[in-house]
């Protein structure tokens, strides 16, 4: 399994729209993500900056499988309306290794 960290940025003034869109994602998109090997996808927002942590079987394969998926195409079109920086993933080193965690 890979843990991938991503950064995206919203267009100015689109914060509330983005939050609203993500309050509940479409069920068919949820199913498509899971079928493509996504275990978890967490997003944090600070102002316009979005920080994603994705746990997935194979990130490159997941992107390939979702590229033309009928549930993903309208979702990506909507996100393109909201995002200034869509994805800064270079593919060079997708797997993030945990170095430390504050013990429980």
Cα torsion 64, 28, 23, 40: sign = negative
pLDDT of residue 99: 81
CA distances from 103 to 44, 55, 86, 100 (A): 22, 21, 34, 9
Low-confidence spans in the chain with pLDDT less than 70 = 87-96
- Buried b / exposed e over 78-96, threshold 16 CB at 10 Å, is ebeebbeeeeebeeeebee
Q: Which domains does the chain have, with CATH numbers?
A: 2-84 (3.30.70.1090)
Backbone angles phi, psi at 7, to 5 degrees: -130, 135
Residues 6 or more apart whose Cβ sits within 8 Å of residue 46 = none
């Amino acid at each position: 399994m890979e843990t991938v960290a991503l950064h995206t940025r919203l267009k100015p003034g689109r914060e509330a729209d983005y939050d609203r869109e993500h309050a509940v994602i479409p069920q068919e998109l949820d199913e498509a993500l899971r079928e493509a090997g996504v275990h978890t996808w967490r997003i944090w927002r600070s102002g316009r900056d979005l920080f994603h942590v994705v746990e997935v079987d194979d990130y490159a394969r997941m992107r390939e499988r979702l590229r033309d998926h009928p549930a993903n195409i309208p979702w990506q079109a909507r996100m393109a309306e909201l995002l200034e920086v869509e994805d800064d993933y270079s593919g060079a080193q997708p797997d993030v290794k945990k170095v430390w965690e504050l013990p429980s």
